[in-house]
């Protein structure tokens, strides 16, 4: 195995930054460190009576897109959220960015956007090979998806997770 990349370190850091944001909101947030399939952070309310799962995907603020992969097309239920975490480079003046997206909304948007992409011709007019393409990307604001979907309403909307675990 080769040396870790900056991307790997940034991904690990993002999970802890997201957990920190959740703890600031008086929730219990535990980073799974890769020990739980499809879940980077397990969250509960202080009483431990309600739970939800978070999958974190990382990008560098200022980038045009964030990669989420094929599993973003699956709706994991009302207690599963995607947090797209913009973690700036250490010497950057850019701030942190977070988009909190419920699984059902992410699945619908990613599936629809990919179908639109797959049905449109490639750069040279060729048919796209959607059967082998495992890449799924989302446009970051101010850009929108081809279907008009935007991440803007999800920016810093931590209340979605707070409400999901409210007693």
Q: For residue 111, what pLDDT band results from cuts at 50, 70 and 90?
A: very high
pLDDT for 117 equals 85
pLDDT at 113 over 80: yes
pLDDT at 1 over 60: no
Domain ranges of the chain: 6-164
- Is the separation of the CB atoms in 134 and 49 below 8 Å? no
pLDDT at 104 over 60: yes
CATH match for 6-164 among 3.40.50.12280, 2.40.50.220, 3.30.70.920, 3.40.1350.10: 3.40.1350.10
Q: Tell me: the pLDDT tens digits for 46-95?
A: 999 999 999 999 999 999 999 999 999 999 999 999 999 999 998 999 99
Q: What is the mean pLDDT of residues 127-141?
A: 86
The structure tokens 């599936």 sit at 111
pLDDT for 120 equals 84
Q: For residue 8, what pLDDT band results from cuts at 50, 70 and 90?
A: confident
Pick from 40, 66, 24, 92: nearest CA to 154: 66
Pick from 161, 117, 139: nearest CA to 68: 139
Q: The pTM is what?
A: 0.91
pLDDT for 98 equals 98
Pairing verdict, β 51-59 and 80-86: parallel
Share of the chain above pLDDT 90, in %: 74
Q: What is the mean pLDDT of residues 2-13?
A: 76
């Amino acid at each position: 195995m080769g040396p870790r990349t900056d991307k790997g370190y940034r991904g690990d850091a993002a999970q802890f930054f997201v957990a920190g944001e959740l703890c600031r909101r008086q929730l219990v947030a535990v980073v799974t460190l890769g020990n739980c399939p499809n879940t980077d952070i397990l969250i509960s309310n202080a009483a431990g009576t309600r739970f939800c799962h978070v999958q974190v995907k990382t990008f560098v603020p200022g980038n045009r897109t964030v990669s989420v992969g094929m599993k973003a097309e699956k709706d994991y239920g009302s207690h599963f959220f995607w947090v797209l975490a913009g973690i700036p480079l250490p010497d950057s003046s850019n701030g942190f960015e977070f988009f909190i997206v419920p699984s059902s909304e992410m699945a619908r948007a990613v599936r629809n956007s990919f179908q639109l992409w797959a049905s449109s011709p490639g750069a040279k007019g060729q048919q796209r090979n959607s059967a082998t393409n495992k890449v799924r990307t989302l446009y970051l604001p101010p850009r929108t998806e081809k279907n008009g979907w935007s991440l803007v309403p999800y920016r810093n909307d931590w209340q979605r997770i707070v409400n999901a675990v409210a007693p």
